[in-house]
Chains A and B, each alone.
Chain A
Amino acid sequence: MTTEIPAQVQHQLAQLQQVQQQAQALATQKAQVTSSLNEIEMALGELEKLDSDAVIYKNVGQLLIKGERDSIEVELKEKKETMELRAKTLERQEERIRKRFQQLQEQLQSAIGGAGDSEVA
């Protein structure tokens, strides 16, 4: 009985690991986007609660710069739209990666099964 893994299986394993890493990277990105989206929604909600004459500041690095409430609100809404779009793109990418992972997993399982059968034979 040989313990050496066939080259084809090794290649499929490497591909599987690569896809897994891509999936993890995508999950991290999605978590960041979701977190930003939640933060923007929270900020917009807090802005709505404030009086119309409230003084609003924008954080620029370590500094706070006084800004126009309306323009800040518009900016936040635009940022929200961008984040929503980004989240949808990431979801689609995640779906593609998930399918690719399943496909590779099945290929690998059948390759290992095939190798096992030929060994038995």
Chain B
Amino acid sequence: MMDRQLTDQELQGLMARHDEYQAQAEALAGQMEAIQISILECERAVSTIDALESEDEDSATSLVPIGAGSFVHARLVKSDRAIVSLGASVSAEMSADAARGCLSDRKEKLINILGQMDKSLKELAGRVRAIQAEANKQMQLRQPDQAYM
């Protein structure tokens, strides 16, 4: 924090940095939201694999969504196998256990990334708060000057 009164140019620079950090924080928050959705998707996929595995292939009544809240009847075959996306438009068929492992690993990685991003977000928020405090201080320092104007 500065103890002296900043020049107009320095104050403008400070406000520009404030806006930049805030924009970075907003972008980061948006990315974090997307990662949280991916984590939930991994959890949902694992739950589905668990649920299907416990079902009897012959007796299980399954309905497949075709959009607009509509479904068609479908017979479940190979409920012990799953096709998991590997990224880059490539998917691989694997056993239910391997799919669970793959999805759980992915979830762990995403949780770690989310943790790192949260740390960065807190750092940015700290910088924004520090600038806001400095700006408030500068306003107070300027007020006596303005009283003479």
Give the residues in chain A near B90, CB-CB below 8 Å. 43, 47, 56-59, 72, 76
> Which of B83, B87, B88, B102 lies in contact with A57, CB distance below 8 A?
B83
Q: Are A40 and B88 in contact (CB under 8 A)?
A: yes
- With A46-B102, A64-B83 already in contact, the answer to whether A55 and B88 are too (CB < 8 A) is no
**Bound CA–CA A59/B88 (angstroms):** 9
B89 near A55 with CB under 8 A, answer: no
Indicate whether A79 reaches chain B with its CB closer than 8 angstroms. yes
Q: How far is the CA of A89 from the CA of B133 in the complex (A)?
A: 42
The yes or no answer to B94 lying at the interface (CB within 8 A) is: yes
With A57-B83, A64-B83 known as contacts, the answer to whether A43 contacts B93 (CB < 8 A) is no
Q: Name B83-98 residues within 8 Å CB distance of A.
A: 83, 85-94
Does A54 sit within 8 A of B, measured CB to CB? yes
Q: Is the CB of A56 within 8 A of B102?
A: no
**Size of interface on A: residues with Cβ below 8 Å to B:** 19
Does residue A115 face the partner (Cβ distance < 8 Å to B)? no
| Nearest neighbor of B109 in chain A, beta-carbon distance | A42
Pairwise interchain contact A47-B86, C-beta atoms closer than 8 A? yes
Q: Is the interface of B mostly helix, strand, loop or mixed?
A: strand
Inside 8 A of B89's CB, which chain A residues have their CB? 58-60
Q: Which residue of B lies closest to A47 (CB)?
A: B86
Contact assessment for A42 and B91 in the assembled complex, using a CB-CB cutoff below 8 Å: no
- Please give, as numbers and ranges, the residues of chain B lying within 8 Å of A79 by CB-CB distance: 88
Question: Counting CB contacts under 8 A, is A39 at the interface?
Answer: yes
Cβ–Cβ < 8 Å partners of B85 in chain A: 59
Name A42's contact: one of B83, B87, B93 (CB within 8 Å).
B87
**Complex: how many Å from CA A55 to CA B91?**
9
Nearest residue in A to B102 (C-beta to C-beta)?
A46
Q: A57-B91, A76-B88 are in contact. List 16 more A-B contacts (CB 8 A).
A: A42-B87, A42-B88, A43-B87, A43-B90, A50-B92, A50-B94, A54-B94, A55-B93, A56-B90, A56-B93, A59-B89, A59-B90, A59-B91, A64-B83, A72-B90, A76-B90
Q: Which 10 A-B pairs have the closest CB atoms?
A: A43-B88, A55-B93, A46-B86, A59-B89, A43-B87, A39-B87, A57-B91, A43-B86, A40-B88, A39-B88
